[in-house]
């Protein structure tokens, strides 16, 4: 055989595997069905602005080894995610912290804020929350739920909060400090010049074929290499024989605007139901670039059907059971490894994917 490994997919998982295996002397072919590299972390240069084509990507981790690893491929800036919520034209800081509580109620001390939240929770005696609405109110009270959670969540899931299961919100982190940093992680940033360069560096010297769907020549592809690393959808690999795993999808609407600064922040969430998008991203604020124009993206949640871009797995019992059946098939494969968010039917952040890919590579004898 010409190749030791065929890697299906040029996202973070496939590309790290390719890079690490090449270092170990293996011969690799990587195929990618899209017309570009990098999977969902793909960023496209638009006159100096790096546009995050598949949704805003902010790198964050507590794992120093992962941080050091990714920093080998690009220099990262000091971007700190501090999203803002817009509800009926009033602005609130996120995540829920002393700034938010001041904006909501005028409270100025942690003691006052805690008392206000307790008072809100006590207004409704919900012992066993039966749906997401009851769960959220029992955790945080009605004001925060109605202003900052309800509409956003209903848009995100395409269902009323009273029809959504309570487990979607297990806990709602609140901070009694004036701290708008969304993530608690030690390391955070955005690669200067975007993410695509990271994948390009990883794949230097590796045979790559774009616009090549594994399934268009499945039988031939299965014969191309001694082993396969597959990062596409697991149910598709098995011809959806037990049925399709479900997702939520997104639709992105990009707009170029002839002003240098449109909204003054990278991410603004729109939390009222009546506005159909969930957030507006202004890409230049990820990179701190100075240009006369700006690019914004409105993010609309969508129902998903086979053929659409799959973004968020639906973590309910039905899909968990279905995935288990596919996983049993995958576990029997001797020469094919299933990795990454689509093959494992799991929402992973980038740092999780790096850890998983490196663990997998290190497990190869």
Interface residues toward ligand FDA, by CB under 6 A: 8-14, 31-34, 39-41, 55-59, 213-215, 231-232, 250, 311, 340-342, 348-351, 353
| Sign of the C-alpha dihedral computed for residues 344, 26, 212 and 254 taken in this order | positive
171, 259, 328, 331: the catalytic one is 171
Q: Which of 217, 221, 247, 248 has its CA nearest to residue 234?
A: 247
Run of H or E residues at 337:
strand 336-338
Residue 207: its H or E element: strand 207-209
User: Taking the complex as a whole, how short is the minimal distance between the CB of residue 342 and ligand FDA, in angstroms?
Assistant: 6
**279 catalytic, yes or no?**
yes
CA–CA separation, 100 and 105 (whole Å)? 9
Nearer to ligand FDA by Cβ, of 39 and 189: the residue is 39
**Cβ-based nearer residue to ligand FDA, 11 or 141:** 11
Shortest distance, CB of residue 217 to ligand FDA, whole angstroms?
A: 10
- Is 347 a catalytic site residue? yes
Q: Which is nearer to ligand FDA, 80 or 103 (CB)?
A: 80
145 versus 182: smaller Cβ distance to ligand FDA:
182
How many Cβ atoms sit within 10 Å of the Cβ of residue 103?
A: 15
State which residue, 83 or 151, has the beta carbon closest to ligand FDA. 83
Q: Catalytic pick from 279, 282, 287, 326? A: 279
DSSP tag of 300: E
In whole angstroms, the minimum distance from the beta carbon of 274 to ligand FDA comes to 22
Side-chain-side CA neighbours of residue 170 (13 Å): 1
| DSSP state string for 48-104 | TEEEETTS---EEES-HHHHHHHHTTS-B-------EEEETTEEEESSSSHHHHHHH
> Can 240 be counted among the known catalytic residues?
no
Kindly state the tokens that stand for 235. 């149910």
Active-site annotation, residues: 171, 175, 248, 279, 299, 347, 349
């Amino acid at each position: 055989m010409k190749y030791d490994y065929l890697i299906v997919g040029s996202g973070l998982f496939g590309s790290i595997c390719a890079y690490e295996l090449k270092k170990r002397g293996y011969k690799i072919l990587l195929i990618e069905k899209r017309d570009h590299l990098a999977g969902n972390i793909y960023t496209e240069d638009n006159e100096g602005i790096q546009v995050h084509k598949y949704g805003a990507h902010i790198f964050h981790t507590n794992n120093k080894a992962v941080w050091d690893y990714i920093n080998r491929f690009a220099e990262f800036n000091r971007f700190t995610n501090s999203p803002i919520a817009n509800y009926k034209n009033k602005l609130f800081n996120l995540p829920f912290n002393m700034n938010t509580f001041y904006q909501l109620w005028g409270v100025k001390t942690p003691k006052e804020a805690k008392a206000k939240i307790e008072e809100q929770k006590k207004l409704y005696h919900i012992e066993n929350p039966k749906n997401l609405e009851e769960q959220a109110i029992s955790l945080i009270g009605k004001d925060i739920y109605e202003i900052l959670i309800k509409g956003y969540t209903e848009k995100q899931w395409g269902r009323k909060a009273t029809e959504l299961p309570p487990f979607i919100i297990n806990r709602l982190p609140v901070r009694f400090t004036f701290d708008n940093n969304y993530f608690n992680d030690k390391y955070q940033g955005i690669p200067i010049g975007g993410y695509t360069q990271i994948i390009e560096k990883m794949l230097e010297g590796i045979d790559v074929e774009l616009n090549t769907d594994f399934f268009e020549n499945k039988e031939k592809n299965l014969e191309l290499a001694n082993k396969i690393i597959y990062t596409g959808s697991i149910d598709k690999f098995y011809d959806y024989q037990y049925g399709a795993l479900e997702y939520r999808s997104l639709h992105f609407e990009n707009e170029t605007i002839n002003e240098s600064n449109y909204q003054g922040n990278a991410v603004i969430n729109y939390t009222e139901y009546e506005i159909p998008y969930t957030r507006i991203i202004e890409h230049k604020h990820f990179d701190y670039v100075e240009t006369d124009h700006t690019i914004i993206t409105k993010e609309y949640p969508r129902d998903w059907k086979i053929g659409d871009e799959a973004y968020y797995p639906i973590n309910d019992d039905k899909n968990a059971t279905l995935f288990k059946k596919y996983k049993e098939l995958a576990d029997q494969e001797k020469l094919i490894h299933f990795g990454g968010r689509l093959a494992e039917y799991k929402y992973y952040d980038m740092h999780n994917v790096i850890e998983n890919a490196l663990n997998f590579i290190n497990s190869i004898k």
